[in-house]
Chain A
Amino acid sequence: MPTIKYCVVFIVIHFFITVEGFSQNKPLKVYEKNGIALNSYNFEGLQSFLNQKNDTLYVINFWATWCVPCVKELPYFEKLNQKYKNEKFKMILVSLDFPKMIESRVIPFIINKNLQAEIVVLNDPDANSWIEKVAKEWTGAIPATVIYRNDKRKFYEQSFTEEELETQIISFMN
């Protein structure tokens, strides 16, 4: 009998953990390889990452393994994520790699670069329908980054140095 009780408690706790935060979005697909699990979303699924109102500072970066300037700036994102992750801070790296590259390239890349920030895949080919929902001024070039906290929001169609990125992050903290 106590086993069942524990089971129920476990399931209830598990349920709350799963429902909490972003997990409410149902991914299109979960890619699993070498101990890494990556959720892929269409834009509808991704959208709530871009519109949280919970005092947390969000840094959302759009990148791809084939995008040289994106790969170059990722270590800065990773470093600043490590620095701020214990505060009200959440970084999400949105990979725009093609679906067929996720297992062959993206997951090995994550392992190789030891990326710890949360990574999701956006798989929604009709980009014209969603680019302006990320930011009106986005032309569609990557790298691109959104930083926001509640209603304050900024969009950057550019590459960052570590200092530039930290300066922008700090400007959202006060």
Chain B
Amino acid sequence: MKKFKIAFLLLAAGLITAFNTIKPAGYEIGSIATDFSLKNVDNKMVSLKDYKEAKGFIVIFTCNHCPYAVAYEDRIIDLDKKYKKLGYPVIAINPNNPEKQKDDSFDKMKVRAKEKGFTFPYLFDDGQKIYPQYGATKTPHVYVLQKTDKGNVVKYIGAIDDNHSDETAVEQKYVQNAVDALLKNQDVKVKTTKAIGCSIKA
């Protein structure tokens, strides 16, 4: 009987482990986001801890090739221009594997950053190691982080706004609303949203 019990416990433990591995990894609101050291288009390594003065970050997984990402490029530049000086710089990360998506190679990232005049770091997730920790599934995919004593806390996950195709028709500026609230020490009202995007090619 005891043997059965042990066998059962082992089985249960196995199942729990199995379910844990199946469950998609990734951050929820309140998670502490990992820092990283990723190469920027200027060949320098960038980490969140380098930003001593920052109050938080607008981390955006984005890329060159995806039309949704391209549709948002100007708006991402605007976000950076507006919020960098308020303590929330944009950190853009390309999560795609260039072997699967040639247009997202590091060299092409440099070209795109120059063409568009990116004002923010555009980092390459070499080996595709960082995006799974965040739980990003597509580009663009935004994580707004707030710097605290415990680390960088995830405060918003999702879309930039509610209209990818027409900036003038936007009604909800999700990221701006989230950062504005954090700057006023208020609770972020809309904490998660969803948008269509290009699946990340690992």
CB within 8 Å of B: which residues of A?
A: 64, 66-69, 96, 98-99, 125-129, 131-132, 138-143, 157
Contacts and interface: CB of A to CB of B under 8 A. Distances in A.
Contact of B164 (A64, A125, A131): A125
Contacts, number: 69
A98 B166 CA distance: 10
A128 B195 contact: yes
Contacts of A125: 162-166, 169
Q: Is the interface of B mostly helix, strand, loop or mixed?
A: loop
Nearest to B139: A141
A141 B169 contact: no
A11 to B, nearest CB: 38
The 3 A-B pairs of least Cβ separation, nearest first, read A141-B199, A141-B138, A125-B163
Nearest to A97: B67
Interface in B52-90: 65-67, 71
B164 A142 contact: no
16 contacts: A66-B65, A68-B101, A69-B199, A96-B196, A98-B165, A127-B162, A127-B195, A127-B196, A128-B193, A129-B162, A140-B195, A141-B197, A142-B197, A142-B198, A143-B199, A157-B137
B153 interface: no
B194 interface: yes
A20 B110 CA distance: 54
A70 to B, nearest CB: 9
Contacts of A99: 165
B156 to A, nearest CB: 13
Contact of A131 (B165, B166, B196, B201): B196
A98 B67 contact: yes
B174 to A, nearest CB: 8
Given A69-B199, A140-B197, A128 B164 contact: no
